[in-house]
Amino acid sequence: MRDPRDIIIRPLITEKSLRLAREGKYSFEVAKDANKQEIKSAVERLFRVRVEKVHTINVKGKTRTMFWGKRTTGRTKDWKKAIVTVKEGKIDIFEGL
């Protein structure tokens, strides 16, 4: 079994995620190869809560244009997002900040 810190990379702190947190839904950036069962067990082990549902989204990276003496284009990385619905308990996402 993988370490939960290898599966959960970081919490996502945005206006939308803070609004969803009031409803018991928390957003995380997770490892691209993690599945829903691994994400559920990692959140339960890290935060000691009961997870009801896990939704995952593969986020495509965007193309960016940069000007460093000359015009170059690049891409941001592709990543995976998980929205976890908590059945009981609460996650303090500002604990480690």
Would you kindly state where each structural domain of the chain is located, as residue ranges?
4-88
Q: Which tokens hold the place of 40? A: 């559920």
Residue 95 has pLDDT above 80, yes or no: no
Give CATH superfamily name and number for 4-88: RRM (RNA recognition motif) domain (3.30.70.330)
Distance CA 95, CA 90 (A): 12
User: Counting beta carbons within 10 angstroms of the beta carbon of residue 85, is it exposed (0 to 12), middle (13 to 18) or buried (19 or more)?
Assistant: middle
Give the whole-angstrom CA distance, residue 66 versus residue 42.
37
pLDDT in tens, 1-43: 789 999 999 999 999 999 999 999 999 999 999 999 999 999 9
Find out whether 8 and 34 touch, Cβ atoms under 8 Å: no
